[in-house]
Structure 1
Amino acid sequence: MHDGFESRESWPFECLRCLYVWEEDYVVRHLTDEHGNEAEIWLTSGMPVQPPWSGTSCPACGAFHLTSFPAGYLARHPELTAAPDPVPLAQVPVVPVKDIVPPVARAPLPRRLLIAVGLPVVAFVGYELYQYVLSPIGHHH
């Protein structure tokens, strides 16, 4: 690679898991070799990284399910970045076990679905059997 230039890009992101909004700055090296093949090298703090659309994770919760905004979007919408920077996990206060409220147990979806569909079916079949078996003999369909 012999021919190239650098550009600076800021990419605003939002985590679709915890809704944290932040912006990352990149230096992009655009290179062309003697055959005309082009390549880009993305850098953050001087270190090579994956491009923003591949491999970026949320600094608050670590999720990879993100969305990005157009360049300059956060500068026009400062209310989106009003949240403070996330607290590093090493500084998160430890909650005593006695203060933790256990979650309410819920039936998994398949069981709830079976109950929601099954109860009306059982009621209908039961009613039909009742009508057929216990109704007077001359009134069968």
Structure 2
Amino acid sequence: MYVWEEDYVVRHLTDDHGNEVEIWLTSGVTVQPPWSGLCCPACGAFHLTSFPAGYLARHPELTAAPEPKPLARVPAMPIKDIALSDVRAPLPRRLLIAVGAPVVLFVGYELYQNLLAPTVHH
């Protein structure tokens, strides 16, 4: 079992429609509330229990979670080693081609069948 503390600032606001809203901040950055989607920094478990502020200080018998290890850094590949054939089109362009080409072919075939084919006589 791991235990750690995180400090949050909660702002209670009212929006333009009169609805009450809570905004959770940590280090000045807006974050999700601690009960939604947090995972243990030591083992990655998602089943968590939250305690009131200062719980860890009042229970020294609990061991604090170790600091997470930084991710390994991958050395960057020099740009001169990249061939033009290795460069791919951005995802939106590839998606447009992958979806658009079959649609254009289908519409073209339907137009041919409905407009031109009836005029052709054998």
Q: TM-score, normalised by structure 2?
A: 0.49
More strand by share: 1
Q: TM-score, normalised by structure 1?
A: 0.43
